[in-house]
Amino acid sequence: MNSTLKTNRISLATLAFSALTFAAGLPVTSALAGDCPADQVAENGMKPGAMMPKGVTDTIITTIDLSSKGDAWKGSMLRMRKLVVQPGGIVPWHSHDMRPANILIVSGSITEYRSTCKVPILHRAGEVTAEFGHLSHWWKNNGKIPAVLYSSDILSPEMHDDAAM
């Protein structure tokens, strides 16, 4: 019975990976869903927003110590988290200068207020967004149901105790 359960998990994982791969291969239009429209991209497009979390649960699922990959990775960690943002909930203003991340929106929707965009960006279930480089932002669930997000990020050694989202 364990063998069957294990096979089903592998099949579901393969299916999920295939779906994400397919979604990434869709034709590119003027702005991908969840991207800043090209004519709205701007340095300092949004001012800093909310500074305190509200109605958000941030659960670390797992971490991997990357030190074994060489001196450049010594003390760095790959981390995966699940964030549940309640309606009206806020992920506070934070920076990605030192912490690249990928975010998968699993259910619900959430609005991003990004320093590099003049307008808010709506992210819907099934979308993935990359966060890296000279980027600061905050998120708010303006919907009526909880937004569930999975975040995978790399923490440098000095960020291990960082409580920033």
Specify if 12 maps to a domain. Answer: no
Q: Does 23 fall in a domain? A: no
Where residue 18 falls among pLDDT bands split at 50, 70, 90? very low
Domain count of the chain?
Answer: 1
Can you give the length of the chain in residues? 165
Which pTM does this prediction carry?
Answer: 0.75
Closest by CA to 158, choosing from 98, 117, 118, is 98
In the predicted structure, residue 2 carries a pLDDT above the cut 50: no
Residue at 15 is within a domain = no
Does residue 141 form part of some domain? yes
Residue 130 in any domain: the answer is: yes
Express each pLDDT in 44-100 by its tens digit. 888 898 899 999 999 999 999 999 998 989 989 999 999 999 999 999 999 888 889
The CATH number linked to 93 is 2.60.120.10
Do 30 and 37 form a contact (C-beta atoms < 8 A)? yes
Position 121 in a domain: yes
Task: With respect to residue 114, please indicate whether it lies within any of the assigned structural domains.
Answer: yes
Mean pLDDT of 18-44: 62
Has residue 129 been placed in a domain? yes
Identify whether the C-beta of residue 56 lies closer than 8 Å to the C-beta of residue 85.
yes
Q: Which domain holds residue 119?
A: 29-159
